[in-house]
Structure 1
């Protein structure tokens, strides 16, 4: 039964990744049909991210009230309905309307499943779970491409993804008894000494949130501005630059799959530290005045370095802060993570517009250093707390 539920969670994470890259893939065609300006995609993305942040912050109370299975089902239903709305939208205004439930659904299910896996499954499942998100994020544009190549039927692409999401929602509906049975078989252990403390008052929580901010800022910035840096500074063609950025995402996805096996030998804290050091090494390859091949390899190295960090930090949440508040803290972490991926890439864009896109490697290095410093300080706080408890 536990294995069956785990398979359902894996399917849910593939579906979670499917819509994430649809807008970017379809926007050139959508923009033309709807008569919208180019920058409107950025505003739509921010509305989706805003809904995700809000639902992540509220997820702790909602999941405590209704349970992980129920919240996951309704979130999937909400996402499927929002994608259907994109298919039917007669104008850009309606895209903004449906962007709100799309973000709300994604944030709730993301937070719910991450905490559930952190509490009930081993670290390797968390890494593999996030590599399956990468599978979904990769399949989304591939599905959309089948419809927009030639006939430009972007609406049918959204309809197809919506049907897949409705099918998953049906699976989640029939699996609700399984969620309840599995939770009853492995109840969460409370942490009495922290039960009266508000989550944000627990030592180290703010450092953890900052780590997520810097991580997601680095990950999203490389994905958004990597091609522009390679084209404008390293003078690659747009096609070559896109290929190297795709290798960055490939390194991230493959790295998470491999991390699942490495977790049998190394713990989360070691994986986080090594990942940060490798990511810094990748940024150094781009910063130093080295030949072009070193810069290109730097993209792949950064992808491999970032791979274990996010799932390992998520899985470590109950161990760091206790199971009583892990769901709420997980929501805070996810909200700050989405904030980082929403605000830091535009920040680099603003800085680059005032200076040059050549600042790109410096920006990535600053994010990597900030993440490393916050993470190491957090480890010190947790060690000190554990020593205090041991006394």
Structure 2
């Protein structure tokens, strides 16, 4: 049986290993933004229909988060991370038959399995990284790890744009002019463009699963919690207002971030905004996610001197203002203001998460599950924004993220506070304010 390393060095190696996991799931998640314009054109879908990609992917977080929390309690953080990688690998591999059969339904099924694995990673890895050191610097540490998640989201659009969007996709009216045989051959060719990238991902995920399983990492079994204990139940977690408000905040944040990213390529392609091709827009999408990466590195440093909740409130106000400018303006101003939102999205997820699990002790695993469940916002809000775009305009539909950022600003300035009645959960010292 492997013996865990002792002392600070074990945390250093654990942080490096887990940070690599943050990178890979960021990469996978952002590939959805490439799939959306590609599959929309291939299957002749409207905005609402194509947003089923995000609905399926992020809906898995809602369905699978509580089971993932129970698995975490049973097998611990390290094994949960390994299992999550393996499940995600199976989902990536399912893209091969989905493309072969030219089935949008099979693509959605593959995305659900892939997202189920990512859900398990999120439930385990986010609290795990926060436990690898001083609790007072947990937000800074998680922001640093999430910066590498953003590195994955920055690279993914360029990668996906090169391999998936490299060929010009025919418009619906052009497809209508093809014969049935030619249309079938065209759709098969375009669907197969996703096979090689996702099979490659499946191989990488399987190798990472084995590596994590064999690596000697601290377990923190007591913080994971035991399933079935009444005092450690999900209902007990919901008695803590700061957790409930954080759940709502994460729901709205993920919904806003995913909505903006999902529509970015189509939005920048509009004549009144950027007037560029979808392939070119994919490179600008990299700047949106790249801004989040830069912001997380900067945020990790700023949180050494500025309280994390104050920075959260300020960043949310700026993000909301930038989206509003993009709605009111047009051309280059509208284009660059929406891209700049990524910089201020940066600290929101890790800060909301660490504020939500603050002082939860043995309830940390269960609180993590509920917070990750809130990622379902990425399933629901893009569909709502798609409906707004279909019924009004794509530019007007961006009012939805503005409202989301206003709530997050309130949480940062006020809603994050931990009431004294929830102090000393599981014997933890009061670190609230």
TM-score category (smaller protein): 0.7 to 0.9
Residue number among 65, 70, 87 corresponding to 1:56 in the alignment: 65
CA distance in 1, matches of 2:91, 2:16: 25
In structure 2, do the counterparts of structure 1 residues 200 and 233 end up closer, same or farther at CA, with 3 Å as the change threshold? farther
In structure 2, do the counterparts of structure 1 residues 267 and 189 end up closer, same or farther at CA, with 3 Å as the change threshold? farther
Matched, 1:370 2:407: yes
Matched, 1:128 2:140: no
SS in 1 for 2:218: helix
2:352 paired residue number: 313
Q: Which structure 2 residues correspond to residues 146-161 of structure 1 after superposition, within 5 A?
A: 147-148=163-164, 149=166, 153-161=193-201
SS in 2 for 1:238: coil
2:312 paired residue number: 272
1:215 paired residue number: 253
SS in 1 for 2:238: helix
In structure 2, do the counterparts of structure 1 residues 164 and 231 end up closer, same or farther at CA, with 3 Å as the change threshold? closer
- 1:275-318 CA-partner distances (Å, limit 9, x unpaired): 11221332343355x67554344224422222111111112233
Q: Which structure 2 residues correspond to residues 174-185 of structure 1 after superposition, within 5 A?
A: 174-175=214-215, 177-180=216-219, 183=220
SS in 2 for 1:61: helix
The answer (yes or no) to whether the contact 1:281–1:301 under 8 Å persists in 2 is no
In structure 2, do the counterparts of structure 1 residues 200 and 295 end up closer, same or farther at CA, with 3 Å as the change threshold? same
CA distance in 2, matches of 1:348, 1:377: 28
The answer (yes or no) to whether the contact 2:240–2:422 under 8 Å persists in 1 is no
In structure 2, do the counterparts of structure 1 residues 107 and 244 end up closer, same or farther at CA, with 3 Å as the change threshold? same
Matched, 1:262 2:302: yes
Residue number among 107, 110, 114 corresponding to 2:119 in the alignment: 107
Matched, 1:351 2:351: no
SS in 1 for 2:217: helix
- 1:344-389 CA-partner distances (Å, limit 9, x unpaired): 12212212322233323432321211222344442345478669x8
SS in 2 for 1:356: coil
The answer (yes or no) to whether the contact 2:385–2:400 under 8 Å persists in 1 is yes
SS in 2 for 1:264: coil
Deviation at 1:70, TM superposition (A): 0.8
In structure 2, do the counterparts of structure 1 residues 340 and 354 end up closer, same or farther at CA, with 3 Å as the change threshold? same
CA distance in 2, matches of 1:347, 1:62: 32
CA distance in 2, matches of 1:291, 1:238: 14
Give me the CA root mean square deviation: 3.3
In structure 2, do the counterparts of structure 1 residues 161 and 286 end up closer, same or farther at CA, with 3 Å as the change threshold? same
In structure 2, do the counterparts of structure 1 residues 31 and 332 end up closer, same or farther at CA, with 3 Å as the change threshold? same
In structure 2, do the counterparts of structure 1 residues 45 and 277 end up closer, same or farther at CA, with 3 Å as the change threshold? closer
Which structure has the highest helix share of the two?
1
In structure 2, do the counterparts of structure 1 residues 101 and 243 end up closer, same or farther at CA, with 3 Å as the change threshold? closer
In structure 2, do the counterparts of structure 1 residues 79 and 287 end up closer, same or farther at CA, with 3 Å as the change threshold? closer
1:166 paired residue number: 206
Q: Which structure 2 residues correspond to residues 134-149 of structure 1 after superposition, within 5 A?
A: 134-144=150-160, 147-148=163-164, 149=166
The answer (yes or no) to whether the contact 1:29–1:154 under 8 Å persists in 2 is no
SS in 2 for 1:201: coil
**TM-score, L = length of structure 2:** 0.76
In structure 2, do the counterparts of structure 1 residues 292 and 30 end up closer, same or farther at CA, with 3 Å as the change threshold? closer
Which of 234-243 and 8-17 deviates more? 234-243
How many residue pairs match? The answer is 376
CA distance in 2, matches of 1:96, 1:295: 32
Deviation at 1:96, TM superposition (A): 4.2
